[in-house]
Amino acid sequence: MKFKKAALYLLFFALIVSGVALWNVISKQRNLLGGWLAGPFRQVFDRPFFHLGSLPVTLYLLIEVVLYILVLGFISHLIRSVLQSRVLTRTSLSPGQRYAFARITSYIIFVLGLTIGLQSSGLNLNSLLVVGGALGIGIGLGVQNLANNFVSGLVLLFEQPIRLGDRVEVGGVVGDVVRMASRSIWVRTNDNVVIIVPNSEFTANRVTNWTANDRRVRFSIPLGVSYDSNPAKVRDVVLAAARSHPDVLADPAPEFLFESFGDSALNFELRYWTINQVETPKVLSSDLYFAIFKIFQENGIEIPFPQRDLHLKSISGPIAITSA
């Protein structure tokens, strides 16, 4: 997979280099060609569509800008990949911090390169104020959601409330963050389904990050036993079953709480910590229920079912009693 991806990068870069080389040949030939061909070349490539300040915007300039942006985008993407996969892996930064640092660096390189390229082409950036005002109107009318998501993505990269690999819950979606893009965040659920969530939902709504501090997460399961059971014995056997599970952490240790006296049962709650089954809490709770049920049977601890007493205050006529 990595070899195919590298081959695609090399092919894309070769196409860009070939395009730049071909365009350099064409740009030179347009001044060297004579006769009947020089005129059409100059008319097509040098005819201005409009002016930005004193700079005429021609087809030749537009092609140069497109090629320059393609090369600049490839370079910034390559630098981001090298930083994230090779350079920053040798530091003490977390994966989320490495991802944020590499992406912000690529943004800075792209913006600086674009600014330098525009200035070197003879464009006065002050003349872009009018275009910027028109672009602002366009954003306000049609693409405000894209701008909102992009700005939200920058906020998430700087503040880092969400990082790669975090277990999050947003808008009813629970899963692991597998990708953070400029417009959206990819969340992979336990069903191996990727949900693409806009960045603005992470900045405007309430988000639960299960692993913001570390990968340790506490879960709890309710339990009920009959009134004939000894609560101290129930506590000992349940804690023994929890400690015997390999995915239940010994530190912090599991806890067993006496919750209440129910209608037909003594109600308890088992609290336990895990680091290996954060993504599959129901699987872990199922394993514990199996182990607890087995140890209850071995120790004669009864799991009650609801019982009701029926009191008849008055009744008219005899009651017929029949045997089954």
244 and 201 co-located in one domain: no
Q: What percentage of the chain carries pLDDT values higher than 90?
A: 25
- Determine the Cα angle at 67 with ends 61 and 72, to 5°: 120
Nearest C-alpha neighbor of 215 from the set 96, 84, 99, 92: 96
pLDDT value at residue 35: 44
Domain assignment of residue 78, given as a range: 10-33+43-128
Any idea what the CATH number is for the domain that residue 240 is in? 3.30.70.100
* Domain presence at residue 146: no
Q: Which amino acid is at 143?
A: V
238 and 203 co-located in one domain: no
pLDDT tens-digit profile of 192-243? Answer: 899 999 998 998 889 999 888 778 889 999 999 999 899 999 999 999 999 9
92 and 74 co-located in one domain: yes
Cα gap 188→176, rounded to integer Å: 5
* Domain presence at residue 265: yes
pLDDT at 245 over 90: yes
15 and 124 co-located in one domain: yes
pLDDT value at residue 37: 46
72 and 181 co-located in one domain: no
Band (134; pLDDT cuts 50, 70, 90)? low
190 and 236 co-located in one domain: no
Nearest C-alpha neighbor of 123 from the set 75, 65, 189, 53: 53
245 and 274 co-located in one domain: yes
Residue ranges of E strands in the chain: 48-52, 55-58, 167-170, 173-180, 184-188, 194-198, 208-209, 217-225, 255-261, 266-274
* 212 contacts 161 by C-beta, under 8 angstroms: yes
Helix residue ranges per DSSP H, the chain: 2-32, 38-45, 59-82, 95-120, 128-141, 144-159, 199-204, 231-243, 281-298
Average pLDDT over residues 50-75: 74
224 and 278 co-located in one domain: yes
- Overall domain count for the chain: 3
109 and 18 co-located in one domain: yes
pLDDT value at residue 80: 83
* Domain presence at residue 161: yes
Mean pLDDT value across the chain: 77
Q: Which amino acid is at 258?
A: F
pLDDT at 304 over 70: yes
* Domain presence at residue 4: no
Any idea what the CATH number is for the domain that residue 170 is in? 2.30.30.60
pLDDT value at residue 2: 46
Band (145; pLDDT cuts 50, 70, 90)? confident
Segment among 92-96, 174-178, 269-273 with least mean pLDDT:
92-96
14 and 124 co-located in one domain: yes
Average pLDDT over residues 107-118: 79
Q: What percentage of the chain carries pLDDT values higher than 70?
A: 69
Q: Which two tokens stand for residue 143?
A: 């693409």
Cα 18 → chain centroid: 37
* Domain presence at residue 225: yes
Band (33; pLDDT cuts 50, 70, 90)? very low
Nearest C-alpha neighbor of 158 from the set 208, 199, 128, 124: 199
Nearest C-alpha neighbor of 199 from the set 113, 103, 93, 85: 103
pLDDT value at residue 257: 94
Last residue of a domain, one of 78, 113, 128: 128
pLDDT at 157 over 90: no
290 and 260 co-located in one domain: yes
The pTM (predicted TM-score) of the whole model is: 0.57
Q: Which amino acid is at 320?
A: A
Write down the residue that tokens 């870069």 correspond to: 13
Cα gap 69→220, rounded to integer Å: 54
120 and 14 co-located in one domain: yes
Cα gap 59→30, rounded to integer Å: 13
* Domain presence at residue 108: yes
The better pLDDT of the pair 21, 211 is held by 211
| Greatest mean pLDDT range, 63-77, 90-104, 139-153 | 63-77
* Domain presence at residue 23: yes
Q: How many CA atoms lie within 13 A of 116 on its CB side?
A: 8
Average pLDDT over residues 31-50: 57
Band (110; pLDDT cuts 50, 70, 90)? confident
* Domain presence at residue 93: yes
Q: Which two tokens stand for residue 264?
A: 């037909």
pLDDT value at residue 117: 73
Q: Which two tokens stand for residue 88?
A: 């920053």
Cα gap 286→282, rounded to integer Å: 6
